[in-house]
């Protein structure tokens, strides 16, 4: 069995299909750990979530689907305004910040289906998303955490850091930059005491990095799929990675 860690998909069902074909993914043998942010970007959010639900059912719940900030955003809207969901003036005004940050594509995708299917997605996907996952001293989390304190302590204090905190990746980039300049960082402790930490949330393309690379004990698998459709998948057992084609 391979474990393939998938970055932020942001509604790009086409990118996920392309990536899984490149990986020669086998749902009877392989496992996916998706790092979150399934919505808000490309227009195929409903198709994407349908596909992920079906994959999970066919795998006997082998896959791990984590929650991202955009998923929490959308879930909050479903929970607070499910009965008002088709009132476009209300939703677009009340959740303007979500709409302008990629939510419009998600909203339009979900407007096209009946409320029974929206409820099905909420119950069978969004409500089941995990906040984080730990296995064999490897942490999988959407954004990160306050690396200056123990992980579980920080989560107890501020759960939202799992979905929003960028300080972990920013520090990892700093250490990686020092290593590139020849500095010896062997004495720097692993963040959180983990062997590896997989995150997304912050596109590495913002730093001019187009592929997932290990920075200290952090591997960011978000290479900017929301912008250009290039989705990454990292094979946990081998350290190799695959990337889908860019979308135009």
**Is the residue at 53 inside a domain?**
yes
Q: Rounded to whole angstroms, how far apart are CA atoms 98 and 225?
A: 18
**Is the residue at 248 inside a domain?**
no
Say yes or no to pLDDT of 185 above 90.
Answer: no
Q: Rounded to whole angstroms, how far apart are CA atoms 104 and 119?
A: 19
pLDDT band with cut points at 50, 70 and 90 for residue 63: very high
pLDDT band with cut points at 50, 70 and 90 for residue 139: very high
Q: Rounded to whole angstroms, how far apart are CA atoms 48 and 65?
A: 13
* CATH assignment of the domain containing 107: 3.60.21.10
Summarize pLDDT for 206-218 with one digit per residue, the tens: 999 999 999 999 9
**Is the residue at 172 inside a domain?**
yes
| Cβ–Cβ < 8 Å for 144, 167 | yes
For residue 149, what are the contacts with CB-CB under 8 A and spacing of at least 6? 157
Say yes or no to pLDDT of 187 above 90.
Answer: no
Q: What token pair was written down for 167?
A: 């300080």
Summarize pLDDT for 93-122 with one digit per residue, the tens: 999 999 999 999 999 999 999 999 999 999
How many separate domains does the chain show?
1
**Is the residue at 73 inside a domain?**
yes
**Is the residue at 82 inside a domain?**
yes
**Is the residue at 7 inside a domain?**
yes
**Is the residue at 84 inside a domain?**
yes
Task: Give the mean model confidence (pLDDT) for residues 182-211.
Answer: 94
Total residues belonging to the chain: 248
Q: Which domain holds residue 220?
A: 3-243
Q: Rounded to whole angstroms, how far apart are CA atoms 168 and 148?
A: 9
Q: Whole-prediction pTM value?
A: 0.97
């Amino acid at each position: 069995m391979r474990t393939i860690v998938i970055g932020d998909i942001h509604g790009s069902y086409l990118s996920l299909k392309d990536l899984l074909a490149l990986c020669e993914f086998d749902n009877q043998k392989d496992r996916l750990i998706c790092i979150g942010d399934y919505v808000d970007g490309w227009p195929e959010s409903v198709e994407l979530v349908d596909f992920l639900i079906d994959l999970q059912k066919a795998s006997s719940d082998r896959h791990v689907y984590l929650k991202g900030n955009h998923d929490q955003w959308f879930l909050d809207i479903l929970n607070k305004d499910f009965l008002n969901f088709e009132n476009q003036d209300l939703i677009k005004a009340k959740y303007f910040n979500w709409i302008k940050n990629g939510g419009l594509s998600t909203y339009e995708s979900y407007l096209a289906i009946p409320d029974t299917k929206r409820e099905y997605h909420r119950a069978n996907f969004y409500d089941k998303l995990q906040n984080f996952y730990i296995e064999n001293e490897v942490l999988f989390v959407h954004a990160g955490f306050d690396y200056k304190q123990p992980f579980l302590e920080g989560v107890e204090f501020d759960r939202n850091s799992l979905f929003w905190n960028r300080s972990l990746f920013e520090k990892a980039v700093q250490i990686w930059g020092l290593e590139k300049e020849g500095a010896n960082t062997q004495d720097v402790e692993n963040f959180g005491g983990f062997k590896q930490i997989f995150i997304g949330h912050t596109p590495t393309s913002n730093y001019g990095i187009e592929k997932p690379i290990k920075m200290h004990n952090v591997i960011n698998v978000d290479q900017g799929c929301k912008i250009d459709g290039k989705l990454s998948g990292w094979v946990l057992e081998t350290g190799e990675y695959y990337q889908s084609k860019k979308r135009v």
